[in-house]
Chain A
């Protein structure tokens, strides 16, 4: 019997992997992919509770999360392209123009 607890554990694992990816990698593409992983973890949570409570609200919110993820990917990749035109790098440690 698969319980909601199983899904929450899976979601926590995916979210933590995403966090580790964002914090440790230097390649900006991998960081964006890790953010997508975290969004997926949140969606699993929402839909698990939607199934548990027999309410469709969680699924509607998951659709909104997917919308935000699509917008974020479009803008983020636009920024990556603009950055690559200027600095010729994907390494976030070299993008430090606004760092004090």
Chain B
């Protein structure tokens, strides 16, 4: 029962803040609502017994990506964009396309809803031998070691790319 209440609270916060993210005029308000959504999704992860992912969500998304967003908003002028038109001219077409997408997803979920009712797990972990972080770490460093290393290279490339994109051009390059 508590699980259900927690789920509905977090889901409501997530969805309402997400709608606010895309409707607010001021970009700073959008960023604040994005933070609320990310925290609510971290709560959803907690209800799914993924404690490690909830921590990573808060640290990486809220502590890293969102702060980066706010920094960039600080660097570039915000005031002028508030007075411009906020939505595209083709927003009607966009909404129609989104409605079709909603229909497709709803149809898929409706037709497949029985397949989500899986038989209960045969061997329920009576006493979880290891904590969630330990399980994730073991899987990450043994079976998924190669993807893990590739992800680190991806991050390195992204760091170099971001620096190369954002730095000032020297006179020698021009």
User: For chains A and B in complex, what number of residue pairs have CB atoms within 8 angstroms?
Assistant: 219
Q: Cα distance A51–B85 when bound, in Å?
A: 43
Tally of B interface residues using CB under 8 Å: 80
Asked whether, in the complex, the Cβ of B154 is within 8 Å of the Cβ of A17, the reply is: no
- Our pick among B37, B60, B81, B94 for the contact of A70 (Cβ within 8 Å) is B60
Binary interface encoding of chain B residues 156-170 relative to chain A, with 1 for a CB under 8 A from any of its CBs, else 0: 011101111110000
Contact A81/B22 with A7-B48, A50-B50, A70-B65 known, Cβ cut-off 8 Å: no
Asked whether, in the complex, the Cβ of B116 is within 8 Å of the Cβ of A30, the reply is: no
* Residue A95 interfacial (CB < 8 Å): no
Most B CB contacts (10 A, CB to CB) among A1, A9, A57, A59 go to: A59
Interface residues of B (CB under 8 A from A): 3-4, 7, 11, 14-15, 18-19, 21-22, 27, 30-31, 34, 37-38, 41, 44-45, 47-50, 52-53, 56-57, 60-61, 64-65, 68-69, 72-73, 75-77, 81, 84-88, 91, 94-95, 97-98, 101-102, 105-106, 109, 113, 116-118, 121, 124-125, 132, 135-136, 139-140, 144, 147, 151, 154-155, 157-159, 161-166
What are 5 A-B residue pairs whose CB atoms fall within 8 Å in the complex? A33-B30, A52-B116, A54-B124, A66-B61, A73-B65
